[in-house]
Amino acid sequence: MNIKNLIFICLIVFMTGIISAKEASQKTVLITGASTGIGRLTAEILAKEGYLVYAGARKQKDIDSLNKIPNVQGIKLDVTVQAEVDAAVETINKAGLGLYGLVNNAGVGSGGPLIDVDEADIRWLFDVNVFGVIKVTQAFAPLIIESQGRIVTIGSISGVGTWFGGGDYTMSKHAIEAFSETLALEMAGFDVKVSVIQPGNYNSEIVKTSLSRHGELTEKQKKSVYADYYKDRLKRTGDRSKYKEPDEVVTAVKHALFDLKPRLRYMVVPDREEAKWTIASTIARVAQRNENQEHAFSRKELIEMLDKAIAKENGTKPAEN
């Protein structure tokens, strides 16, 4: 063997070692509901920054579109179908790169006054927004535990407050709050961090998709005490282009996935009014629970509790009163 061939072989071995090391260190993330909106943008940005993204989608055309993005592998994944969840686990296991991050993003909207809304519609919404999250998290938990990774779920400020006609959706997002908080406690022993992102109003397809499920008024809706609500809903287009793109939400997802000190909750809203609505909703509940009960706390005691909570969140000492 001449010296040129020897150098060439050594170079190949050296480069192979570099590629293998890169593959071993490249963090992998699974994002559900990655065909549009927050999921799609998160997949694009993470992939651009060098992460390997498994992007879940239900339709083949969306999977094909995702596969065109470097560092993205589209996966057929309807979170309500156990067989597809199991197949996704098998695909990622076969790749041999493990899984560092799970982003539970898949979600749907519906809506309608609670005394009118069909039980089937509520069950469908919960199947995606709640049971789908549980199903996927349970399936991928072993991989996340093995990598001591992160689990991030996209909730909503609707998991904090409520609004007329949004009972089924807000119930599902309130459930995600409890899910994430409890999961964080249960995964702490495995050094797995859990976070919930609470976006406000950003540009997405969720309302348009929701409205597309509602056709002409049913006889029940025409006779309903909320008939005017249903008539008004028919006029809506679901166009959310007036809202900002969800770049700020993606920034929060990245912090939750990769920062050394991720937070449990990330409220991400486009303006101060939405921040005020969310915080005020929380404060109203504190007041409602505290007042007119045998063990009510004074204003001073409540402020001391708040100071301690703020200090704990910021890693500082409570303010002096």
Provide mean pLDDT across the span 213-226. 83
Spatial contact of 121 and 71, defined as CB atoms under 8 Å apart: no
Residue 169 is a catalytic residue: yes
Spatial contact of 84 and 33, defined as CB atoms under 8 Å apart: no
The CATH number assigned to the domain holding 69 equals: 3.40.50.720
- Catalytic hit among 51, 54, 169, 202: 169
Alpha carbons 220 and 222: distance in angstroms, whole number: 6
pTM score of the predicted model: 0.87
- pLDDT grade, residue 13 (50/70/90)? very low
Q: Which residue has the tokens 């303006």?
A: 271
Residue 173 is a catalytic residue: yes
Alpha carbons 212 and 201: distance in angstroms, whole number: 19
Nearest to 165 by CA among 119, 112, 126, 96: 112
- 72 is in which domain, residue-wise? 26-273
- pLDDT grade, residue 9 (50/70/90)? very low
Question: For residue 126, is pLDDT > 90?
Answer: yes
In sequence order, which ranges of the chain are alpha helices (DSSP H)?
A: 3-25, 37-48, 60-67, 82-95, 119-126, 132-147, 167-187, 206-212, 219-223, 227-234, 247-258, 272-290, 299-314
In a domain, 195, yes or no: yes
- Catalytic hit among 27, 51, 135, 173: 173
Task: Specify whether the backbone of 195 is left (phi greater than 0), alpha (psi in -120 to 50) or beta.
Answer: beta
In a domain, 167, yes or no: yes
Q: In the chain, how long is the greatest CA-to-CA distance?
A: 92
pLDDT at res. 204: 73
In a domain, 321, yes or no: no
Spatial contact of 73 and 28, defined as CB atoms under 8 Å apart: no
Alpha-carbon distances of 204 from 42, 265, 291, rounded to whole Å = 13, 21, 39
Spatial contact of 105 and 42, defined as CB atoms under 8 Å apart: yes
Number of domains the chain is built from = 1
Question: For residue 291, is pLDDT > 90?
Answer: yes
- pLDDT grade, residue 317 (50/70/90)? confident
Alpha carbons 87 and 150: distance in angstroms, whole number: 21
In a domain, 76, yes or no: yes
Alpha carbons 258 and 254: distance in angstroms, whole number: 6
pLDDT at res. 242: 85
Angle at CA of residue 60, ends 210 and 44, nearest 5° = 80
In terms of pLDDT, which residue wins out, 207 or 266?
Answer: 266
In a domain, 189, yes or no: yes
In a domain, 4, yes or no: no
Residue 92 half-sphere exposure toward CB, CA atoms < 13 A: 32
In a domain, 166, yes or no: yes
Alpha carbons 283 and 77: distance in angstroms, whole number: 39
In a domain, 183, yes or no: yes
